[in-house]
Amino acid sequence: MNVQLIQGEFNSKDAIDLLTQMIHVKIKYHEAKINSQSSEEDIKTRESKIKHLQKDLFELRKTVNSKTNGVKVEAVIKIESE
């Protein structure tokens, strides 16, 4: 099953706003999963994922800001059974 989450052309500011919010949701998800009962390994894994998302967001902002005509954005959630 696929869910078309985003599809369209956006000016740079709107694209950055939208994608920043989406990435922040994912970061908050990982932050919420870190608690006092988490193992050290789990905490390190989630912290690594958060750092990776932050790095990706930085690169994304740099790339989108360099575009003068706007950008096309497509995000699909793909759900598969194991």
- Give the three-class secondary structure for 78: strand
- The encoded tokens of residue 46 equal 């989630």
What is the per-residue pLDDT for 37? Answer: 77
pLDDT digit string, tens, across residues 31-61: 998 887 788 999 999 999 999 999 999 999 9
pLDDT band at 67 (very low <50, low <70, confident <90, very high): confident
pLDDT digit string, tens, across residues 16-34: 999 999 999 999 999 998 8
pTM for the whole structure? 0.85
Nearest to 52 by CA among 76, 30, 32: 30
Query: Backbone phi, then psi, for 69, in 5-degree steps?
Result: -100, 5
Q: Is residue 73 within 8 Å of residue 4, measured between CB atoms?
A: no
